[in-house]
Structure 1
Amino acid sequence: MTSAQRLAGLMVAQALALSSAPLMVFIGGLIGAQLHPDPSFSTLPIAAMIIGMASAVWPASRLAGRYGRRPVFVGAMLVGVVSSLLAAFVVYQFSFWGFTASAWLFGCVGAVIQQFRFLAMSFVPQDQQASAASKLLLAGLASAFIGPELSSLAEYFPALGFAAAFVGLSLCMLLAGVVLLFVVPVKTSVNTAIKEAEPRSWPELFRQPDLILAMSAAAVAYVVMSFVMTATPLSMTTLSGHDVGDAKWIIQSHIVAMFLPSLFTGRLVGYFGIHRVMLVGLLLFVCSLCIGAYDESLLHYLGSLILLGVGWNFLFVTGTALLAQCYQSGDAAKVQGMNDMLVFGTQAIGSLGSGAILLMFGWQALLLIAATGLVWLALVMSWNYHLRHNN
Structure 2
Amino acid sequence: MSSTRVEPAPTRPKGTAAVATIVLIVLVAVALRPPFTAVAPLLERIQHDLGVSTTFSGVLTTLPVVCLGVFAFLAPTLRQRFGDEKVLVGCLVVLLVGNLLRAVGSVWALLLGTVVVGAGIAVANVALPGLIKRDFPHNVPVITAAYTMCLTLGGAVAASIVVPLGDALGSTWQAPLGLLAAPVLVALVISAFALRHSSGAAPQPSRPGRLWRSPLAWQVTVFMGLQSAMAYVVFGWLPTMVTSRGMGPEVAGLALGVQAAVQAVGSMTVPLFIKRTRDQRWIAAVLAVLIALGFAGILLGPAPTGVWAATVLLGYAQGGAFALALTLFGLRSPDSDTTAALSGMAQGGGYLIAAVGPLLIGFAYDVTGNWTVPLALLVACCAGWLWAGALAGRPREVVSVRGSTRP
Bucket of the pairwise TM-score, normalised by the shorter protein = 0.7 to 0.9
Q: 2:223 aligns with which of 201, 217, 220?
A: 217
Whole-angstrom distance in 1 between the partners of 2:248 and 2:164: 22
Distance 1:174 1:254 in 2: 28
Equivalent residue in structure 2 for 1:254, among 252, 256, 259 = 259
Of 307, 326, 343, 1:336 maps to 343
Q: TM-score, normalised by structure 1?
A: 0.84
Rate the CA distance shift 1:332–1:186 in 2: closer, same or farther, 3 A.
Answer: same
Matched, 1:364 2:372: yes
Instruction: Select which of 59, 64, 69 maps to 1:44.
Output: 59
Secondary structure of the residue that 2:103 maps to in structure 1?
A: helix
Are 2:125 and 1:118 aligned?
Answer: no
Residue in structure 2 matching 1:165, options 157, 173, 176: 176
Q: Which residue of 1 aligns with 2:141?
A: 130
2:384 is matched with which residue? 376
**Native 8 Å contact 1:51 1:104 kept in 2:** no
Deviations 1:336-387 (A, max 9, x none): 2111112211222113333232222221211111122222233344557899
The correspondence for 1:103, drawn from 109, 114, 127, is 114
Indicate if the aligned counterparts of 1:18 and 1:113 stay in contact, CA closer than 8 A: no
Contact 1:70–1:181, Cα closer than 8 Å, also in 2: no
Q: Does the CA-based 8 Å contact 1:227-1:370 persist in structure 2?
A: no
2:38 and 2:390 map into 1 onto residues whose CA distance is: 39
Distance 1:11 1:187 in 2: 17
Question: Which SS does the other structure have where 1:138 is aligned?
Answer: helix
Distance 2:72 2:207 in 1: 23
- Call closer, same or farther: CA 1:381–1:96 in 2, change over 3 Å: closer
Residue 242 of structure 1 corresponds to which residue in structure 2? 247
TM-score (norm 2): 0.81
Shift of 1:112: 2.5
Q: Which amino acid aligns with 1:347?
A: A
> 2:289 & 2:375 partners in 1: Cα distance?
15
Partners of 1:97 and 1:280 lie apart in 2 by 44
Counting only pairs closer than 5 Å after superposition, residues 197-208 of structure 1 correspond to structure 2 as: 201-202=210-211, 205-206=214-215
Q: CA deviation at 1:76?
A: 1.9
Give percent identity, aligned residues only. 15
1:187 matched to which residue of 2?
200
Moved more, 250-259 or 342-351: 342-351
- 8 A Cα contact 1:215 1:342, kept in partner: yes
Aligned partners of 2:112, 2:393: CA distance in 1, in Å?
A: 45
Does the C-alpha gap of structure 1 residues 387 and 174 become closer, same or farther in structure 2, counting only changes over 3 Å?
A: closer
Q: How many pairs align? A: 374
Deviation at 1:168, TM superposition (A): 1.7
2:67 paired with 1:67: no
Contact 2:23 2:191 in 1 (8 A): no
**Per-residue deviation, residues 60-106 of structure 1 (Å, max 9, x unmatched):** 333123322233222222122222222122x1xxx223212212222
Amino acid at match of 1:120: I
1:119: how far off? 1.8
2:220/2:392 contact within 8 Å kept: no
Equivalent residues in 2 for 1:268-347 (5 A)? 268-273=273-278, 274-295=280-301, 297-329=303-335, 331-347=338-354
Counterpart of 2:188 in structure 1 is 177
Q: Deviations over 1:217-256 (max 9, x none)?
A: 322221123224422222333x433210121111111101
Change (3 A) 1:188 1:72: same
Q: Distance in 1 between matches of 2:200 and 2:27?
A: 21
- Name the counterpart of 2:7: none
Is residue 234–residue 355 contact of structure 1 (8 Å, CA) maintained in 2?
Answer: no
1:200, CA displacement in angstroms? 7.2
CA 1:140–1:199: 2 relative to 1, 3 Å: closer
Q: 1:6 to 1:69 in 2, by over 3 A?
A: closer
For the residue of structure 2 that corresponds to 1:125, the secondary structure is: coil
Aligned to 1:7: 22
Give the unaligned 5+ runs of structure 1: none
Contact 1:10 1:183 in 2 (8 A): no
**Counterpart code for 1:20:** P
Name the residue aligned to 1:265.
270
Of 12, 25, 38, the residue aligned with 1:23 is 38
